[in-house]
Each structure stands twice: as C-alpha cells, then as structure tokens.
Amino acid sequence: MLSQEKNDLLTKVGADQPMGQLLRRYWMPIAAVSEFKDKPIRPVRLMGEDLVLYKDKSGVFGLVERKCAHRRADLAYGFVEEHGLRCNYHGWKYDQTGRCTEAPYEDAAAPLARLRDKVALKAYPVEVKAGMIWAYLGPQPAPLVPDWEPFSWANGFCQIVMAEVPCNWFQCQENSIDPVHFEWMHTNWSRRQKGDETNGPKHLKVDFADFEHGLIYRRIRDDTTDAHPMWTVGRVCLWPNGFFLGDHFEWRVPIDDETTLSVAWIFSRVPNEQEPFIQESIPAWRGPVQDPQTGDWISSHVMNQDFVAWVGQGAVADRTREHLGASDRGIAMLRRQFFNDLEKVAGGQDPKGVIRDPQFNQRVTLPIAERDLLINGLPADRLAQHPVFGKHLKNFVFQAGQPPEVLAAYRAAMGLEIA
Ligand code: FES
Ligand SMILES: [Fe+2]
C-alpha cells in the first residue's frame, strides 16, 4: 500500500513532475520506421506533450511541437519537403531542430525584420534502432539508445506491434515483474474462455533479483524443477519501462498520465531450412483494444489479456487501497528502485540503467532463457514440436488485429503454407 502522495510520484509523467523528469532521462520507442512509408507525418503525444513526428523527403526524421509558432495551426496536417516540415496555413517551414527556415510572406514583405529568426519550435532528438523510432525528451547530453543484443540477431522475422491502452504507464510496468499472473491471467483464463474448467501448472516458488538493466524474476511451477531456464535464467523487467521475454520486448510508453502506448518488438526465429532469411523492412501495426461491437476489452490474445488487467486497475491504479503479498516482492522492489532513482535525479545524477558508453553499448546482452534456440534455430519439424514456439507457428498469440499481409509475410518467412 502506498500513500496518495507516493502514488502520484510514481505515476505523473508531466515535464514538471519528478517521474516525468526521471523518464525523460531515457529514450522511448514511439513509432515504427515502416509506418512512414505511406504517410510521412503522424501526431504523437508523449509524456503529456503534443508533438508531430515526420520524415522529410531527404529521409530525416523530426519530432517537433505540434502547434505552428506563427498562429498555432496543427502541424500534423503540414507537408514534408526535401528538408523539413511546412505548415499548411501560411507556409512557414521548420527543420528537425525546430528552427524556422522559411516564412514566405514575411521573407518577401519584410526581409530585414527576419521574424523567423525570432521564433522556433520545441524539437527533440530522434533515432532509429531496430525498425523503431526512439525519442529523447530529456536534458543534454542525451544518453545512448540501448543496443540490445536481439536487435542484431540474424534469421528472424520481426514485427512491431502497438496499442494505445487507456491507463497509466506504471501499472503496466508493474506487470513486468509479476510472474504469478501468467498462471491465472494467461493459462487459466484462456482455458476458461474456451470452457475448460481445469487449471494449468501452479507456481510453487518465485524469486526476484536486481541487475544492471532492471530486475529479474524467476519461478518454479509444479511442472518444472530448479533446473528449468525459468528458474536458472528467468525473465527481465527492463529499465525503466520495458519487459524482455527472450523472443520479444514490450515497452510501456507514457502518452500522458492516463494513457500508455504499448510497443512490442517481436522476433520469430525462422527454421534452419529457411536460412538465410533477411528482412528488408520490419512491418508494424497497431491493434484495437476494444471490441467495436460490444465495447468489451478484447481478451483473446496474451497482451490483450494484460491490457484487461491494466485498464481494470483504473485510469491510475489506486495504490492506497491494495494489499501486497508474497507474490508482490518484485513489485515492491520496482517501486523502491524508482523512489531511489527519483532522489538521484533530483540530485543531478543518472537513474538506473542509463547507457552512455559507446564501447559498452554494442549488442548489450540480457538474460535469455531460450538463447540457444533463438540464435541457432531449429529444424522445422523440431520447431513445430516446441512447447512454446511450436504454438506460435499456428497462431499469432500476442495481440489481436494482426493485418493479413503481416501474417502472410510471417508465414512465408517461416516456410509455412500461406493460409
Ligand atoms: S499558423 Fe503556421 S504558418 Fe501560419
Ligand atoms: Fe501478461
């Protein structure tokens, strides 16, 4: 249980809030590169700030405030040019640093006044990594976008899957250090939804540990022993807002205090017969969270089930009224670490896990329970029999709404018949 004051500290992400300042010390994935193929501009709301992300005709990405400096028209309806973004109202043009490079009528009518030199848009740096566009809203010097090892694995079909979830980011992130929920929310609830009243394997023991890039949880169920990789290796609650499960990352990116962008980067290792597999461009899609007919939250897929839990906790979970138990030791560690880091940031220091050394930031390894399989792959027949990855071949289990063209590309990559 937390006081209201402490709950506010963990959850509020505005630029003037302690957690907002802490989170602005990290790069956030906000969109996918492939989303800009057909439409070069997209409005983005990030930690309570309204911005526009665009790709100009020379291929440069820019992230600038959404309202034009002239008379505040919406730059999400502007047009991109060779270098920069032009407002559709009176044609003022900006580059990716926010500088106004043209104000056509002013430049002609009053060239000496140089009004455009007196204005600028707020602009933030962006970088491309692993098919995603990352933004940094914090103070300079900016740290590095983490170069996690799986981003350069070979022979994988990757996809980037997003959804907008109407609740605060912190309750989403608490889910990253919560092993027991897999048993109930995924295994048992999935069975109930199919009319099966039986339960899956029970958790017997869980453990939590701190490491450089986050926390680790480990577990033993009644169908596994202490020799199982979920006990010897475990899973990673990745700092500050990620979850890493070997074959995929999930990030919970705060849109504002009551909305979160769920971003997943999912790697499917192709069978050995399909090697070498080289992916030209990583497809990206955004899925619905509600059934448009009934208004119910979608519950058919793993991440959608998580979304049901997160939104069910309320727009901002009320931690003054919870009762933590033995399964929640990881949750308590997560909060404690953030409270420590809030103090560090207030004292001018970097919080946990910020990477600044370019030598270090090369294929940074993380604990991976299935490392051998994901790197070396398996022949198709053995992959099909694998208890987890074999199921993934049959259905995309993670999130509802996968477009048919992504499914077709996946099946082609995996050497499956096109359904
Ligand atoms: S409002 Fe943008 S150019 Fe006038
Ligand atoms: Fe989950």
Domain identity same for 108 and 160: no
Domain boundary among 90, 106, 129: 129
151 plus 123 within the same structural domain: no
Q: How far is the CA of 403 from the centre of ligand 1 (A)?
A: 37
pLDDT, tens digit, 9 for 90 and up, residues 124-138: 999 999 999 999 999
Same domain, residue pair 151 and 210: yes
**Residue 335 domain-assigned?**
yes
Is residue 13 in some structural domain? no
Residue 80's Cβ-side half-sphere holds a number of Cα atoms within 13 Å equal to 23
CA of 123 to the centre of ligand 1 (A): 17
The domain boundary, picked from 105, 129, 153, lies at: 129
Q: Is the CB of 94 under 6 A from ligand 1?
A: no
pLDDT, position 419: 61
Cα-to-centroid distance, 61 and ligand 2 (Å)? 33
Which residues contact residue 381 at a Cβ distance below 8 angstroms, ignoring those fewer than 6 apart?
Answer: none
* Shortest-distance atom of ligand 1 to CA 78: 2
Same domain, 188 and 115: no
What is the domain count for the chain?
2
Task: Measure the CA–CA gap between 49 and 202, rounded to whole angstroms.
Answer: 43
Report yes or no on 6 lying in a domain: no
Mean pLDDT, residues 31-59 = 97
In a domain, 29, yes or no: no
Distance CA 196, CA 223 (A): 19
For residues 282 and 228, state if they share a domain.
yes
Of the pLDDT bands very low, low, confident and very high (cuts 50, 70, 90), residue 417 is: confident
**Are 367 and 399 in a shared domain?**
yes
Span from the CA of 88 to the centroid of ligand 1 (angstroms): 7
Q: Which of 129, 158, 188 is at the close of a domain?
A: 129
Contact indicator for 67, 120 with CB cutoff of 8 Å: no
215 pLDDT higher than 70? yes
Ligand minimally distant from the alpha carbon of residue 76: 1
Average pLDDT, the chain: 97
pLDDT tens-digit profile of 256-302? 999 999 999 999 999 999 999 999 999 999 999 999 999 999 999 99
pTM value surpassing 0.95: yes
Domain that holds residue 81: 37-129
- How far is Cα 314 from Cα 168, in angstroms, rounded to an integer? 8
For the chain, percent of residues with pLDDT exceeding 70: 100
In a domain, 254, yes or no: yes
- In this predicted structure, the answer to whether residue 42 has a pLDDT above a threshold of 90 is yes
Rounded to an integer, the average pLDDT of 110-129 is 95
pLDDT band at 17 (very low <50, low <70, confident <90, very high): very high
Mean pLDDT of 8-17: 98
Distance CA 237, CA 215 (A): 5
Beta strands 84-86 and 214-221, pairing class: unpaired
Using a 6 Å cutoff on CB, does residue 115 contact ligand 1?
Answer: no
Phi, psi of 252 (to 5 degrees): -115, 95
Nearest alpha-carbon partner for 90 in 114, 66, 73? 73
Asked whether residue 134 is assigned to any structural domain, the reply reads no
- Is 20 a domain residue? no
Say yes or no: CB of residue 356 within 6 Å of ligand 1.
Answer: no
pLDDT digits (tens, 9 = 90+) for 58-98: 999 999 999 999 999 999 999 999 999 999 999 999 999 99
Statement to judge: residues 185 and 108 lie in one domain:
no
Regarding whether 165 and 84 lie in a shared domain, the answer is no
User: Is the CB–ligand 1 distance for residue 87 below 6 Å?
Assistant: yes
Interval between CA 98 and ligand 1 midpoint (Å): 14
| Percentage above 90 pLDDT, the chain | 98
Q: Which atom of ligand 1 is nearest to the CA of 92?
A: 3
- Structure confidence at residue 113 (pLDDT): 87
Residues around ion ligand 2, judged by CB within 5 A, are 306
123 shares its domain with 150: no
User: Ligand 1: distance of its center to the CA of 360 in Å?
Assistant: 44
A 10 A CB-CB count for 91 gives 16
Which pLDDT value is given to residue 274?
A: 98
Same domain for 335 and 225, yes or no, is yes
| CA 122 – CA 94 distance, rounded (Å) | 11
Q: Is residue 136 part of a domain?
A: no
Atom of ligand 1 nearest to the CA of 87: 2
Segment 33-49 mean pLDDT: 97
Segment 354-361 shows an average pLDDT of 98
Over 80: is that where the pLDDT of 418 sits? no
Q: CATH number, domain at 45? A: 2.102.10.10
| SS3 track for the chain | CCCHHHHHHHHCCCCCCHHHHHHCCCCEEEEEHHHHCCCCEEEEEECCEEEEEEECCCCCEEEEECECCCCCCEHHHCEEECCEEECCCCCCEECCCCEEEECHHHHHHCCCCCHHHHCECCEECEEEECCEEEECCCCCCCCCCCCEHHHHCCCEEEEEEEEEECCCHHHHHHHHHCCHHHHHHHHHHHHHHCCCCCCCCCEEEEEEEEECCEEEEEEEECCCCCCCHHHHCCEEEECCCEEECCCEEEEEEEEECCEEEEEEEEEEECCHHHCCCCCCCCCEEECCCECCCCCCECCCCHHHHHHHHHHHCCCCCCCCCCCCCHHHHHHHHHHHHHHHHHHHHHCCCCCCCCCCCCCCCCCECCCCCCHHHHHHCCCHHHHHHCCCHHHHHHCCCCCCCCCHHHHHHHHHHHCCCCC
Whether residue 213 sits in one domain with residue 287: yes
d(CA 172, CA 310): 6
> From ligand 1's centre to the CA of 108, what distance in Å?
16
Do 171 and 60 lie in one domain? The reply is no
Residue in 153, 158, 160, 152 with CA at minimum distance from that of residue 132? 160
- Tell me the per-residue pLDDT of 311-345, one tens digit each, with 9 for 90 and over: 999 999 999 999 999 999 999 999 999 999 999 99
Ligand number nearest CA of 248 is 2
Q: Does residue 90 have its Cβ closer than 6 Å to ligand 1?
A: yes
Atom of ligand 1 nearest to the CA of 68: 2
User: Measuring from atom 3 of ligand 1, which residue has the nearest CA?
Assistant: 90
Dihedral sign for Cα atoms in the order 26, 31, 33, 39:
negative
